[in-house]
Chains A and B, each alone.
Chain A
């Protein structure tokens, strides 16, 4: 039943006024001005409200729709069938070897991301050198060739093999030599592959040539002991080491092995036992080794032979002519050194960097006299790293010119760059009918070759190496070849007619048949351990049978050839080495351990000598020698012998890749020869030339200004009082704190750094870069002082004159003699201060303290005021000035899909505008703690190691838990030598440094 109620809309309705009646007739009470709107007049009305609303509605809708574009989703596809050994998030380690050193390749989800030392190895087992640590970047190098090449064009392997085989056959049939030019090959499998090739083509001649050769030593040992080898040195047995221009901790022979051994008599453990070796260095340029010497005397290259003659005379009591007659300082040092050497007979050794066989014979005579062949110099388990023979390569060039060579195969050799007469080599190569290069890129030599059989890196190959007699390491692949490349052995085998045998079978068969015979070890065990040690047992010291007088006469004569007002000293830098890895941006950006220059080589000259030449910093000089001239930027180098210029080899490459092309100046053409061997010293002339060139240095102030940030003592004082000069408080004193004490109830992560062990080599820097995805910024940015390294090595000079030491800028101005410097290297990284000044000033709490004593950095929270960096007294914080990951200016590094594969997935890649710094490898700490937790056990000392610690060949860095009184680091920090940098400002740093101890003569 409906309601009868009636509601009126108004009085008008009730009263039914005529107006209302009229209005209620229509649907709308007022007529809608449809016509007005629809006709033209309506559209031109002043406010077409509807139009406005329509437009507004459409606009809003359109904008909304346009902005509804979905963010592209990149799906991470999980394994459909999970490989048994791969667990996402858990790294796998595979034993392999690099440059003959046993290493572990760390892989994540199938990608190799780092190289670490194989600590179980019985050879080199402590740290990696910078080249090894950086090698991972070479794997992902975009500048490598992606396909085999024939006549400069991409080809396939079948065609390439056919062509090569035809050419080799042709040469062989014509009776012409097939030269196989390589760097030193010590891999048993490669050598076997070469032997197989030789079986197929009998004219194959294997020529080994090293960019920086040691053929003089080989020759000398042949003449002295009838053993044509480079010896292995066991410096841990040496109480006294005298080096004449041998950078044995850096690039001379095997710097890493020497470092590992050398430190054993100098680090905190040795000092604890009251033992320290003495190291005396005579050299022209300040080398890494020179900076570590207890006594360093600057001598000119032409004086080196005389130094050795004097030493020989002093030791043997003979009076050979040619002894040092100039340089009073050196003479005194020689007398003292000789005395030391004689006192330590059997535990003393002399090494020399010269490649002149005559000089090396003299050195052999001295060492024989010192009984160094008993335990220090090892000719039995000799080094197989440098077997290059300069003379045979010379013959190759001559033969090629004469047309006697039918074909040439270049195996990982680049003589068109590394040879001093590169033009002749080029002509020679062009004169050979067919050349093929087995290299990974179109380098200087490969670009001249008819064919390039693109080789792959050791990460992608099966193989092996034997760094010294009796010690073998295995190379096992950890990733499929990224490009269409083929490993060298397979190419050689293919040309020998065997395309079927896989590299794996080939290497395994060789090991099982030739190496592991009767050893009781299986191939599987070798794959696990990565090495096989079959070092020959020691035999009696060889007897010296060289002609000393003849050697001295010849050496003296040779020295006269280079004596002059200006002597040029060429050296292999300890980081960049011979230039083979010049495209490795990590290595280019590691500062030279001494000069702190990145991305360049330079002419190092003494400050006073620079004055004589009229050049200043940022100036350039033109050096002429050996019929070659080059303009080089000047580096003012204290410690450099007057009248000498040191120039690094390995720079100025033109065809190595994006990062390394045209970096620095090629100095190889300055190399000359002596008795068929390469000679790295030469008489030169130099003059100032126009132009300004700023070297990219990471450190531009070189002295400590009298501050106690470096504390050093000498061995004598140390023996009297181990805490000498460490500034440790003996008595109680009251301190006051503004801040609350941070409690670290569980762990407290701290570090101890031994300044006496650190040689300054810089491998920790690379390892840290790799571990923590630290960007490479390039030369320009380093010039702007913006390198991103989380750990750096501060290097300070003390200028010594007349027994006075100068470290202050305004005192040094008055110094006359800049040849005498003492140097100290101080690794500097975030000190994880308990009262961190960075933490209090961050407005957004982006950097905070952890309950384990760490100073954390929350990248996501940081908005980049940089106040923390300003307030950091150690200046270890690094700001992301640009988006280094996605900026075409930083193309030489991680700006492509390949190199991004090497990122450590455990560490965030930082965006532009945030601060970053050392985290003490927090990801490793977490991983270590998790592992212990999973295994339901207590975390043990040594479970967690930081990347820099693992990489350190000198074991100078100890990391661990201070709350564990038995941990290595706790013990180290209880050492009397420990001090904390800037402890007086009470920021309470957590990294303890141990005083530098020098075993000087005066003591």
Chain B
């Protein structure tokens, strides 16, 4: 299959002599071989983090929520901050796999797998907080309307927490199915190249994939259907999470702007996390040819756009607080700006509003180290955003007599740091056992969007000279394409 794709489009796969076999070999390298030192170091650190998480959560379950720093005024703090943060991070995966699929943005093909995996692990981390923050976590199942022997006890469908439970569990299920379906051809590839027990396991996991045309056809249809199902979820999940706050009467929470603002923030943080992971991944796993500068730049642009939306939302909030004429509302925002937690507000503003604006500069958005640092800055900012929303609203609400400060304990910190550890543990295990890039989907790009293919077409003289020049200029930013390679390109 050879298609003619406009040369104005940048190549999505670079590298010389890229064949299907090479793609398979490159991507399956970490899966089929013993892990390297870098993996072990990363895994040890992440594992220790996960251990910290187990200890902190275990201690909380044993002693009670009192081991956290919460009080009578601030009933949620780090727990729900972390929860929303992780849910937010979990947004990029579905957006990349579903929305970009529907819009036929095939540059997603090299990043969707990891992004989806990240989504699933982030949602797992988020879900742990749903349970852990409960006073009596052993009764967590009460959140679902399951028939029970307690008589006619039912859940409160007015409560956003119930909506939340549905939203998160649906999102998790759909994401997992989507991810797993996408994995099928790749698992089959691993299966076909493996032997012994490994082969057996991958056989079971591949659900009898046989590579027939019918299988591929069904695969495509399932992908489309799932994309269709998950697209509204991208909007709904964080909309509902935002309703945990928006439907309350707490000044600073009770805001109609929350749904779009939260969704934008979620995509913002999700892409930042994808960026954080992939920039390391492509280097360590030698995936530079598959995750190219084009991807990095594209994601940076998304970060810039969503970051700006978030910034506008912040300013709108301030305006509405003043315009509403509600003294409680106004005070809530004055308190954010100048109250005892002003440092958190200004950290949020700096990280989320100012720092992404640097991506207006092409130099910055195509610089790997700066992109990486900024992607982390964004997620720090997004953590502060949730902290600011939750804690600064609660700690000074209606009656000044109850105003209080929140001070985290080691357990609060332990659970957060631990959840990051848990996340990376899961992610590293994923890289070890499943292909980090969708092999089959990258292969689809080879004969349409790869540099090799485009070069061939240029050599065939399919494009006018000015377009070729333009193409060459754009190749400049690729760190995976050398100067010589570019100069070799001749019309």
Binding site for B on A (CB under 8 A): 699-707, 709, 781, 784-787, 792, 794-796, 826, 828, 837, 840-845, 861-867, 869-871, 873-875, 877-883, 911-915, 981-982, 985, 987
How many Å lie between the Cα of A787 and that of B402 in the bound state?
11
| B158 → chain A closest CB, angstroms | 5
Number of residue pairs across A and B with beta carbons under 8 Å? 163
Q: Does B331 contact A (CB under 8 A)?
A: yes
Report whether B142 and A863 are in contact in the complex, using a CB–CB cutoff of 8 Å: yes
B160 contact set on A, CB distance < 8 A = 841
Q: Which of B65, B75, B400 contacts A705 (CB 8 A)?
A: B400
Provide a sorted-by-A list of 10 A–B residue pairs whose CB atoms are within 8 angstroms.
Answer: A701-B401, A707-B328, A792-B401, A841-B160, A845-B153, A845-B156, A866-B75, A877-B72, A878-B72, A982-B399
Q: Does B429 contact A (CB under 8 A)?
A: no
Q: Which of A706, A786, A826, A871 contacts B72 (CB 8 A)?
A: A786
Q: Which of B136, B158, B161, B399 contacts A828 (CB 8 A)?
A: B399
How many Å lie between the Cα of A938 and that of B364 in the bound state?
81
Q: Does B347 contact A (CB under 8 A)?
A: no
With contact pairs A705-B400, A864-B134 given, residues A873 and B249 touching in the complex (Cβ less than 8 Å): yes
B158 contact set on A, CB distance < 8 A = 840-841
Residues from 236 to 250 in B contacting A, C-beta threshold 8 Å:
244, 247-250
Report whether A864 and B249 are in contact in the complex, using a CB–CB cutoff of 8 Å: no
| A846 → chain B closest CB, angstroms | 9
B134 contact set on A, CB distance < 8 A = 863-865, 913
Q: Does B404 contact A (CB under 8 A)?
A: yes
Number of contacting residues on B, CB 8 A?
49
Report whether B161 and A865 are in contact in the complex, using a CB–CB cutoff of 8 Å: yes
A871 contact set on B, CB distance < 8 A = 248-250
| B133 → chain A closest CB, angstroms | 7
Binding site for A on B (CB under 8 A): 63-66, 69-73, 75-76, 133-137, 139-140, 142-143, 153-156, 158-162, 165, 244, 247-250, 327-328, 331, 394, 396-405
How many Å lie between the Cα of A604 and that of B64 in the bound state?
36
How many Å lie between the Cα of A861 and that of B397 in the bound state?
27
How many Å lie between the Cα of A845 and that of B145 in the bound state?
12
Which among B65, B165, B244 has the highest number of chain A CB atoms within 10 Å? B65
| B128 → chain A closest CB, angstroms | 15
Q: Which of A707, A826, A842, A867 contacts B75 (CB 8 A)?
A: A867
How many Å lie between the Cα of A772 and that of B156 in the bound state?
27
A795 contact set on B, CB distance < 8 A = 401
With contact pairs A882-B66, A912-B64 given, residues A843 and B161 touching in the complex (Cβ less than 8 Å): yes
With contact pairs A701-B403, A863-B140, A881-B65 given, residues A914 and B135 touching in the complex (Cβ less than 8 Å): yes
**B161's closest neighbor in chain A, by CB?**
A843
**B140's closest neighbor in chain A, by CB?**
A863
Q: Which of A826, A842, A879, A982 contacts B65 (CB 8 A)?
A: A879
Q: Which of B153, B159, B328 contacts A867 (CB 8 A)?
A: B159
Report whether A705 and B331 are in contact in the complex, using a CB–CB cutoff of 8 Å: yes
What 4 pairs across the A-B complex have the smallest Cβ distances? A864-B135, A913-B135, A881-B66, A866-B75
Which among B134, B400, B403, B404 has the highest number of chain A CB atoms within 10 Å? B400
Report whether A875 and B73 are in contact in the complex, using a CB–CB cutoff of 8 Å: yes
Report whether A843 and B155 are in contact in the complex, using a CB–CB cutoff of 8 Å: yes
Report whether B159 and A882 are in contact in the complex, using a CB–CB cutoff of 8 Å: no
How many Å lie between the Cα of A781 and that of B66 in the bound state?
9
| B78 → chain A closest CB, angstroms | 13
Which among B137, B165, B248 has the highest number of chain A CB atoms within 10 Å? B248
**B69's closest neighbor in chain A, by CB?**
A784
B136 contact set on A, CB distance < 8 A = 862-864, 911-914
B66 contact set on A, CB distance < 8 A = 781, 786, 881-882, 912
Report whether A828 and B401 are in contact in the complex, using a CB–CB cutoff of 8 Å: yes
With contact pairs A844-B156, A865-B134 given, residues A707 and B400 touching in the complex (Cβ less than 8 Å): yes
A875 contact set on B, CB distance < 8 A = 72-73, 397-399, 402
Q: Which of B76, B399, B401 contacts A870 (CB 8 A)?
A: B76
| A595 → chain B closest CB, angstroms | 13
Report whether B154 and A845 are in contact in the complex, using a CB–CB cutoff of 8 Å: yes
With contact pairs A705-B400, A707-B400 given, residues A843 and B249 touching in the complex (Cβ less than 8 Å): no
**A861's closest neighbor in chain B, by CB?**
B153
How many Å lie between the Cα of A861 and that of B396 in the bound state?
29
A867 contact set on B, CB distance < 8 A = 75-76, 159, 161, 244, 248
Report whether A982 and B398 are in contact in the complex, using a CB–CB cutoff of 8 Å: yes
Report whether A882 and B71 are in contact in the complex, using a CB–CB cutoff of 8 Å: no
How many Å lie between the Cα of A702 and that of B139 in the bound state?
39
4 additional A-B pairs beyond A837-B248, A837-B249, A862-B136, beta carbons within 8 Å, are: A786-B66, A841-B160, A882-B64, A985-B398
Report whether B142 and A844 are in contact in the complex, using a CB–CB cutoff of 8 Å: yes
With contact pairs A709-B399, A874-B398 given, residues A841 and B161 touching in the complex (Cβ less than 8 Å): yes
How many Å lie between the Cα of A529 and that of B323 in the bound state?
64
A882 contact set on B, CB distance < 8 A = 63-64, 66
B64 contact set on A, CB distance < 8 A = 880-883, 912-913
How many Å lie between the Cα of A877 and that of B143 in the bound state?
21
Report whether A879 and B135 are in contact in the complex, using a CB–CB cutoff of 8 Å: yes
**A877's closest neighbor in chain B, by CB?**
B72
B404 contact set on A, CB distance < 8 A = 700, 785
B162 contact set on A, CB distance < 8 A = 843
Report whether A864 and B153 are in contact in the complex, using a CB–CB cutoff of 8 Å: no
| A360 → chain B closest CB, angstroms | 38
How many Å lie between the Cα of A707 and that of B397 in the bound state?
11
How many Å lie between the Cα of A913 and that of B399 in the bound state?
25
Q: Which of B71, B76, B165, B399 contacts A874 (CB 8 A)?
A: B399
Report whether B155 and A869 are in contact in the complex, using a CB–CB cutoff of 8 Å: no
Which among B137, B155, B402 has the highest number of chain A CB atoms within 10 Å? B402
| A764 → chain B closest CB, angstroms | 16
How many Å lie between the Cα of A420 and that of B66 in the bound state?
41
How many Å lie between the Cα of A845 and that of B63 in the bound state?
25
| A989 → chain B closest CB, angstroms | 12
How many Å lie between the Cα of A752 and that of B393 in the bound state?
30
How many Å lie between the Cα of A911 and that of B64 in the bound state?
10
How many Å lie between the Cα of A702 and that of B135 in the bound state?
31
Report whether B135 and A843 are in contact in the complex, using a CB–CB cutoff of 8 Å: no
| B95 → chain A closest CB, angstroms | 28
How many Å lie between the Cα of A423 and that of B296 in the bound state?
80
**A913's closest neighbor in chain B, by CB?**
B135
Q: Which of A785, A873, A913 contacts B71 (CB 8 A)?
A: A785
How many Å lie between the Cα of A658 and that of B135 in the bound state?
29
| A681 → chain B closest CB, angstroms | 32
Q: Which of B65, B156, B247, B396 contacts A913 (CB 8 A)?
A: B65
Q: Which of B75, B76, B133, B400 contacts A796 (CB 8 A)?
A: B400
Report whether B327 and A700 are in contact in the complex, using a CB–CB cutoff of 8 Å: no
A869 contact set on B, CB distance < 8 A = 72, 75
